[in-house]
Amino acid sequence: MSHTLLSLVVPFYNEQESIGSFFPRVAAVLEQLEGVDFEIVCVNDGSRDGTYPALIAAARADSRIRVIDLTRNFGKEAALTAGLDEARGDIVIPFDADLQDPPEVIPQLIAKWREGFDVVMARRVDRMSDTLMKRMSALLFYRVHNKLADVKIPENVGDFRLMSRDVIDALRLLPESRRFMKGLFAWVGYRHSTIEYTREARSAGQTSFSAWKLWNFALEGLTSFSTAPLRIWFYLGSTIALLSFGFACEIIIKTLIKGVAVPGYASLLVSILFMGGVQLIGIGIIGEYVGRIYTESKRRPVYLIRSRFQSEATTASPAHE
């Protein structure tokens, strides 16, 4: 009987506390899949705790675990890209080490894939394990992004999804250095379906995503797939110019015809400060896009790999580059 190879791609960054519970729970689910062999591709994204030694120990004990060690912390999007590039599977599932996305959902993803779908997304229907601020900010991000961007991102769908080999090969063709993976997953298209699940609390440790990082992540997503902020600023500038012209006409009429004195310095100061703020915001938005052009023009690699490791049961020694 021909078996399908499943690659579970898991970025790790300072997840030492989660590793002890991660592999037993995930392996217990994957071992029950009929007609499916699996590998777990672990990407150590420059962890500064004991994550890497713990991953090596797990890989020594189980040849189905592969460890990809990046030279430094490149960020989750780069680590996820590295894992997708390294995955050998016929089907690939990005997964988080914190177990907030329960591995027990994986059989449902595979069942949908067997119906003929290339992408099976997992949508969170209950996010009560997240803080209120995180839930509200996520809702706001999806609404704003999908209003402004040409590529729509399904609400409450994260990286957790199943993708066929054709989808992975298509993603590997995309050349950009600054990668917003949720947008890229949506951009490539393919026939897709969705299953629903309840998001759980972290198994251990603390999230590395602060409010500031989440804000920058949202800004990255918006500028990656939309030029609407630039267009909005054109319309805002046009509106302010028209209002200013109307106000100037009103002052001329009051002064020349009605003899009303010109308002004092307070209104002038407010106008100058307002316009200065508007101009600075506009320059900042332009700067975001110029910064993306600057970064992409360098053509630096998305990540660098220090070493690869898989136990001797499969490979004689780790490969280095």
Does residue 204 register a pLDDT over 70?
A: no
pLDDT value of position 317: 36
pLDDT value of position 207: 56
pLDDT in tens, 96-144: 888 888 888 899 899 888 888 899 988 887 666 566 666 666 667 667 7
What average pLDDT score do residues 197-217 get? 60
Q: Provide CB contacts within 8 A for 253, sequence distance 6+.
A: none
- CA atoms in the 13 A half-sphere facing the CB of 131: 8
pLDDT in tens, 293-307: 777 777 888 889 898
Residue 73 burial (10 A CB sphere; 0-12, 13-18, 19+): middle
Give the whole-angstrom CA distance, residue 258 versus residue 251: 10
For the chain, the average pLDDT equals: 78
pLDDT value of position 181: 82
Residue with tokens 């970064």: 295
pLDDT band of residue 44 (cuts 50, 70, 90) is: very high
pLDDT value of position 259: 64
What average pLDDT score do residues 60-64 get? 87
Does residue 177 register a pLDDT over 60?
A: yes
- Which among 175, 5, 20, 30 is positioned nearest to 95, based on CA atoms? 30
What average pLDDT score do residues 52-68 get? 89
What average pLDDT score do residues 224-252 get? 71
Residue 115 burial (10 A CB sphere; 0-12, 13-18, 19+): exposed
Q: State the CB neighbour count (10 A cutoff) for residue 261.
A: 7
pLDDT in tens, 141-162: 667 766 776 777 777 788 888 9
142: tokens are: 């999806």
pLDDT band of residue 18 (cuts 50, 70, 90) is: confident
Does residue 316 register a pLDDT over 70?
A: no
Report which of residues 3 and 97 the model is more confident about. 97
Q: How many residues does the chain have?
A: 321
What average pLDDT score do residues 34-50 get? 88
CATH of 4-210+300-310, one of 3.90.550.10, 3.20.20.10, 3.50.50.60, 1.10.8.60: 3.90.550.10
pLDDT value of position 70: 92
Report whether 54 contacts 16 (CB < 8 A).
Answer: yes
100: tokens are: 């907030």
pLDDT band of residue 94 (cuts 50, 70, 90) is: very high
Residue 298 corresponds to which amino acid? K
**Which of 105-114, 191-200, 273-282, 291-300 is predicted most confidently?**
105-114
Give the least confident one: 7-11, 178-182, 206-210. Answer: 206-210
